[in-house]
Amino acid sequence: MTFRQRVSFIICLDSFIVLTSIYFSRFLVNATIDIITAPIVISSITLLLSHHLFSFLFKLYKKAWEYASIGELIIILKSITYSIVCTAIVQEITISDTYYRLLTVTWFLHILLIGGARLCWRIYRDASHNKGLNKKPTLIIGAGAAGTMVVRQLLNNIDSELLPVAFIDDNVKKQNLHILGIPVVGGVERVESTVKKLNIENIIIAIPSLRKKELNMILQECTKTKAKTKILPMLEDLVTGKVSVNQFREVQVDDLLGREAIELDIEMISDSITNKVVLVTGAGGSIGSEICRQVSKFNPKTLVLLGHGENSIYTIEMDLKEQYGNSLIEFVTEIADLQDEMKMRLVMEKYRPNVIYHTAAHKHVPLMERNPEEAVKNNLIGTVNVANAAKLSGVETFVMISTDKAVNPTSVMGATKRLAEMMIQDMNKNSSTKFVAVRFGNVLGSRGSVIPLFKKQIEKGGPVTVTHPDMVRYFMTIPEASRLVIQAGALARGGEIFILDMGEPVKIVELAKNLIKLSGNSVEEVGIEFTGIRPGEKLFEELLNKDEVHEKQVYPKIYIGKTANLLVEEINELILTYATEDKEVLKNRLLNIANNRVESRKLISISS
């Protein structure tokens, strides 16, 4: 039916309803007027014309009644009331009398029939949409404004495969009520029983304002079921009406951490970055690129994007220019190798950065076990080259990205990172540059993260591969890691190792199980296969050596580790001779120095 045909049909239907209302009212009130006398004819014509007039004014004929709601019913009420008032005025003018009982009954019948017709349209549409369709029963957690909006959209969307059948809400005042025809069956503790009772296939968490800890508690209940769980987008998307049923996001691993993100000291960071020259090495990487985005929020004068891979540097450059193109920030790129000492010095001389965030490194543990010389060249020598160049050009602050694998290292990657920490701590003693390091746990979403692998394995039907049933790790998100780096730069006094309070370590096998369950699968169907610990891996990671522990926080969720022994002479000797060493011999030398298992000719001890 075209728009014109639709409007013509509604006008004819409304005309019939208007005339039926006034003539039927005459019999109900037992009025003394005859149905063909002047008063009733005048009233009928006036009511009919005024109804259509106000219907056009309020755009009543342009409404999609299959999606009618309270708003449309209010418009109907206004149109009919104004029509009755106009009819009463005309009666008073033309016949010097007003039939109040007749008009009152007509008003009631008018509303009943016009509203009822629209409601029948909506009921027919809902019934035809759901009849015979293979929709999936869906549980909505959260019966507030967001949850109600979700249910309304799901019911109105014929293409959606989700059919809301129940609400879950901890607000006892809402429990046992029906919202949009959907019952509120109880609190979060009823999730598991409700899923079983109603054969729920999907769960949607529709509480955008949830804190991480609260969300984690709800997710733990959801993992007890076989239903697939999704989460509503951000609240601002709901307010602007941009959200659609296809935008419910999958549960992310960071939702399971139950830890609130670190907040920044805006004023402190602004003092260290705003209108300054900032250089980021490894700017195209997952951490480096996020640091660039975070730094750009503080309006540096110049942001130098330095990296070895041209494609990744080009990508972050375009991303930043698109996002901050209207700002006064100058974005410049440098394709360079950290192992090129002269190039590092030329870059520093050219831009004279105030702050350097050194994120470039080889991070893949098994690959570095097979290629220890490359780990030395990139992680150790590359860091020394950049740090020396920073020192010579008078850089104010140098922040190096380290890892929890640098604590009591058992891998080549961890050992080279620990040696790099030692070298910059030694440089800090005789330099105006403040050298600091920041240690991370595992970064969710980074290129080396295990989570993307788990998701791919689940999509393929499994099994999910885990190295060992007892393996545990600390986890943090890319934004968290980036914020910590930036905050550490602002807190730097020189020589510190900053560590984030990362909460409790997470058991990898439990993480895998939760991902499987929240994807709507069972652990038995997908399966988990234990492959054994890989070379260089530990069952658990530490953030601080026992000699480095410093219990006091210097900033909410940020600790400083005490500085331990530095084996500078041994590290310099290794740098000079590593290329001639057998791989196994080189690995042993790295681990011995990193773990202070050498008879040092020059053991330097410094403290914070």
> Which residues are catalytically annotated?
405
Task: Give burial (CB, 10 Å; 0-12/13-18/19+) of 373.
Answer: middle
Provide the greatest CA pair distance for the chain. 122
Q: How far apart are CA 405 and CA 368, in angstroms?
A: 13
- The 3-state DSSP class for residue 563 equals coil
Q: How far apart are CA 299 and CA 441, in angstroms?
A: 29
Q: How far apart are CA 99 and CA 271, in angstroms?
A: 78
Question: Which residues neighbour 370 within 8 Å (Cβ) at sequence distance 6 or greater?
Answer: 583
Q: How far apart are CA 451 and CA 228, in angstroms?
A: 18
Q: Scanning the structure block, which residue is given the tokens 């004929």?
A: 61
Contacts 24+ apart (CB under 8 A), 547-555: 548/407, 548/497, 550/608, 553/501, 554/491, 554/498, 555/265, 555/487, 555/491
Closest CA to 166 of 133, 132, 200, 208: 200
* Contact present, 33 and 42 (Cβ < 8 Å): no
How many Cβ atoms are within 10 Å of 513's Cβ, its own excluded? 18
**Bridge pairing between strands 330-335 and 355-358:** unpaired
Sign of the four-CA dihedral 209, 212, 216, 217 = negative
Question: Of how many residues is the chain composed?
Answer: 608
Task: Give burial (CB, 10 Å; 0-12/13-18/19+) of 414.
Answer: buried
Q: Scanning the structure block, which residue is given the tokens 């009644």?
A: 65
Q: Which token pair is 117?
A: 């017709």
Closest CA to 185 of 518, 442, 196, 174: 174
Q: Scanning the structure block, which residue is given the tokens 């070379």?
A: 535
Residue-by-residue DSSP string for 29-68: TT-SS-TTSHHHHHHHHHHHHHHHHHHHHTTGGGS-GGG-
Q: Scanning the structure block, which residue is given the tokens 């004279």?
A: 352
